[in-house]
Amino acid sequence: MSAPRPDPRVFEAARRLREQRPSVLIAVAHPDDAELFFGAAMLRWRERGARIFLVVATSGGKFGEGGRSGAAVARLREAEQRQAAALAGAAGVFFLGLPDGEVSRSSRRLEERLVFYARKLRPRVLCSFDPGPYSEAPGTLWIKHPDHRAVGEAALFAASFSGLASYFPAHSRRGLTAWPVREVLLADSVRPNFSVDARPFLEGKRKLLAVYRSQELSGLRLPARERFLRLVRPGAR
Ligand SMILES: [Zn+2]
């Protein structure tokens, strides 16, 4: 007796369901940025069944301490990032291996990589940093990490042009087609217009941060809301 042939419509329905599942791409500069700035949002998205991907521009080799070499620190921080991402339920982490503290020198490479991952992973939402020069802490402004600014700038480039095949046409030879992200969420903005209630996820966010033993983040006061500048493509549903 031969096995019944599966109805191709079943596969088509499954494919459509997969495509409808929201996905989020978080582009950051260093291991721990995603959990620090988007930790509660990630846990909330995961609860709603979203697929979450991380692109991490550097492996954080400048944060050397205890006499370790930059390469050893980078290996340790990559391992911490992979562990935290797994705990957050992320579907994948991609490291770009750019030099820590010098991301702005690789801006074209970064733009190409973020357009590439937007086309490959096809996220509805692209998350990164507001590329503005300042960070706001309660009651004061300070200089934003230049790597965060550079990644935020490249993320805006990717959000602008990943949907246009004429940018980086070599991607099409690798089977990738243009993909316009619908929405951008920028962390560390001095003019946020959107927030996620972090209170139900504070314990979970603390656990994500506790993975970073090299960084001593456990004593941080975590905000009750994660605030973002939210940009929505005109006409996007
Ligand atoms: Zn950082």
Ordered domains of the chain (ranges, CATH): 23-232 (3.40.50.10320)
H-state helical runs in 48-165: 70-87, 107-121, 146-161
**Could you read off the pLDDT of 163-173 as tens digits, one per residue?**
999 999 999 99
Q: Which of 3-17, 63-77, 150-164, 205-219 has the lowest mean pLDDT?
A: 3-17
Continuous segment of H or E residues that includes residue 12: helix 8-20
Q: Is residue 66 predicted with pLDDT exceeding 80?
A: no
CA of 69 to the centre of ligand 1 (A): 19
**Cβ partners under 8 Å of residue 234, min gap 6:** none
Give the number of other CB atoms < 10 A from CB of residue 174.
9
The model's pTM = 0.89
Bridge partners (DSSP) of residue 228 are: 187, 194
CA of 236 to the centre of ligand 1 (A): 30
Report which of 52, 60, 26 is spatially closest to residue 212, judged by C-alpha positions: 60
Give CA–CA dist 28/149, Å, rounded.
10
CA of 44 to the centre of ligand 1 (A): 22
Q: Is residue 18 predicted with pLDDT exceeding 60?
A: no
What residue type is assigned to position 94 of the chain?
F
Three-state DSSP at 46 gives helix
Res. 2 pLDDT band, cuts 50 70 90: low
CA of 158 to the centre of ligand 1 (A): 20
